[in-house]
Amino acid sequence: MRRHQYIDVVQLQNAQRMQYTPELPDVRRRVRPLPIEALCRKRYAPGFSNVQASTSQRLIPYSNPLSSGPESYAGNFVKPLFRIIVISLMFAGSSASADEANIEGRWLSGDGSGWIDIRLVNGGPVGTAAGSTTEKEGDPPRLDDLNPDPALRDRPLHGITILQGFEYEGDHVWKGGTIYDPNSGKSYKSSMTLVDENTLKVRGFIGISLFGRSDTWTRDEL
């Protein structure tokens, strides 16, 4: 079936004068066939440029609402739906960026013994030890003396990496990372949840998240 059929405007005007509004199928039956010269007019069929078209007959294009062309009902439905999807993805991307930015800052551990500074590195959060609340001025720096690697046991704890490897999973959650506990010298798999702007729930576990322990950190900026 052709995408467009053509209806004689004059016949439609005559039908309106007789106060008769034909149904769509009747209009197509009542319209007389148009000469091939008119159908091939360059205005409506640019491919037939060598055909002399009549200029005495006015034509309007008729689109079948059940056709598969861009003017069909399906086309009119898909285009707005596509716009909605694109806008939704834009807002989702903006929300994710806001979450990732909000996790940055200095956080106080759950037991109040030390600070962890979290910054975005290559798009992911990385946490470093930022000091201990028990240290006093003039005290020697605490060393990473429980590290399983003997070569690292003489390094100061301040500035070492505590959190790394996380990826944002959506809904204020980061997964797939690891956390290092300097109090035991052990590393665990970890996930983090930004409960609110000032509360971060950090979970360390072995194997699966069910077997682990959670710690709630509080934002504590200088």
- For residues 202 and 182, the answer to whether their CB atoms sit within 8 Å is no
Average pLDDT across the chain, whole number? 74
Q: Cα-flanking dihedrals φ and ψ of residue 84, to 5°?
A: -60, -40
For domain 103-219, give its CATH number from 2.40.128.520, 3.30.450.20, 3.30.230.30, 3.40.50.410.
2.40.128.520
Convert the pLDDT of each residue in 128-162 to its tens digit.
999 999 888 888 999 999 999 999 999 999 999 99
Residue 105 has what pLDDT? 95
The angle subtended at Cα 102 by Cα 101 and Cα 104, nearest 5°, is 75
Taking the C-alpha atoms of residue 135 and residue 147, their distance in angstroms, rounded to an integer, is 20
Q: Which residue did the predictor score with more confidence, 98 or 135?
A: 135
**pTM > 0.75: yes or no:** no
Domain assignments of the chain as residue spans, ordered by start:
4-67, 72-101, 103-219
- In this structure, the strands spanning 199-205 and 186-196 are antiparallel
pLDDT-derived band at 65, boundaries 50, 70, 90:
very low
Residue 99 has what pLDDT? 57
Taking the C-alpha atoms of residue 45 and residue 64, their distance in angstroms, rounded to an integer, is 18
Residue 85 has what pLDDT? 58
Convert the pLDDT of each residue in 204-220 to its tens digit.
999 888 889 999 999 99
Residue 137 has what pLDDT? 83
Convert the pLDDT of each residue in 99-124 to its tens digit.
577 899 999 999 999 999 999 999 89
pLDDT-derived band at 83, boundaries 50, 70, 90:
low
* Gyration radius (Cα) of the chain, Å: 36
User: In Å, what is the CA distance from 18 to each residue of 13, 21, 32, 89, 112?
Assistant: 9, 9, 18, 54, 90
Total Cβ atoms within 10 A of residue 123: 8
